[in-house]
Chain A
Amino acid sequence: MSVRALLACWVALVLLSLATVASLGLPSARDTLLVLLLLVLGKAWLIVDGFMELRHAPWPWRALMLAWPVAMALGVAGAALL
């Protein structure tokens, strides 16, 4: 990846991390959980596609690594909400 793309990726990760803490101010615990998990997905996908450079990797590896945070988020949400 280019230097500019990596820096953009890092800035996005920092902003999403700040938003993660800010989301604690939401009135509903359910909304907070869902927002937190969406932010986690965004950060995880940025790391997988950006830092780990899987954006242009063979699709099975990219799919596997992008699916892992989704599976974890669904597991955490399922445990909390069901």
Chain B
Amino acid sequence: MSTSPEALLPNRRLPGDLAMWWFILAEITLFSILILAFAITQRLQPALFAAGRQALDASMGLALTLSLLTSGLLVALAVTRVRQARAGVSALLLAALGSACVYVWLKLSEYAHLLALGLDVEHDTFFTLYWLLTGLHFLHVLLGLVIIAWMAVRAWRGGYHAGNCSGLESGALYWHMVDLVWVLLFPLVYLIGAGP
């Protein structure tokens, strides 16, 4: 019997397809550039950023966060359910889709509110970066909706099994990456510098 440290560890496995992980690395690199650009510009123009943040609602940011996190949970539960060969995967994915649609509805409401106030992408540096950062993230959410819907249809047709769920894992990873980026964007855009 082997007593090497590797033998004592559980089987280490990277979920999903390797290509998805490289895609995720590319995506978070892109967001890194925008996040650091936002932080550095905020340092250079603190008063402008504080004024811009007055038009944003932290409770709206919290609601957006909770809808995304709930959707992420439901997708993760769907993956677990496939591995356990249990039914109800497509229902969980549809529920995740519904929660993500709440995010889309809230975000569109926020965008409409800002546009009504004349705070468009050309208003000032804060709103240029706000629209760039949140708009790029929003496009990722929309792509995520398509992926989750496609996975729900495939699950409904019995396309995933315990030994064949790499595609589902990859789609779930993409959605969790969208969550991961948002948990950084939320305080950066809505909260930092908004306190007393």
Contact = CB atoms under 8 A, between A and B. Distances in A.
Interface residues of A, number: 48
B191 A58 contact: no
B115 interface: no
A52 B65 contact: no
B184 interface: yes
Given A17-B65, A40-B187, A80-B42, A3 B80 contact: yes
Contacts of B179: 47, 51
Interface in B168-196: 172-173, 176-177, 179-180, 183-184, 186-188, 191-196
Interface in B132-177: 172-173, 176-177
B186 to A, nearest CB: 7
The majority secondary structure among interface residues of chain B is helix
A63 to B, nearest CB: 13
Contacts of A76: 35-36, 39, 188, 192
A40 B62 contact: no
A33 B187 CA distance: 9
Interface of B: 10-15, 21, 25, 28, 32, 35-36, 39-40, 42-43, 58-59, 61-62, 65-66, 69-70, 72-73, 75-77, 80, 172-173, 176-177, 179-180, 183-184, 186-188, 191-196
A75 to B, nearest CB: 5
Contacts of B180: 44, 47-48, 52, 69
A36 B39 CA distance: 14
Given A47-B183, A68-B32, A79-B42, 4 more contacts: A20-B186, A44-B180, A64-B25, A75-B35
Contacts of B183: 17, 40, 43-44, 47
A7 B70 CA distance: 10
Contacts, number: 127
Given A1-B80, A14-B66, A57-B15, A72 B195 contact: no
Contacts of A9: 73
A17 B62 contact: yes
B32 A72 contact: yes
A57 B12 contact: yes
A54 B173 CA distance: 10
B69 A13 contact: yes
Contacts of B42: 79-80
A9 B186 CA distance: 19
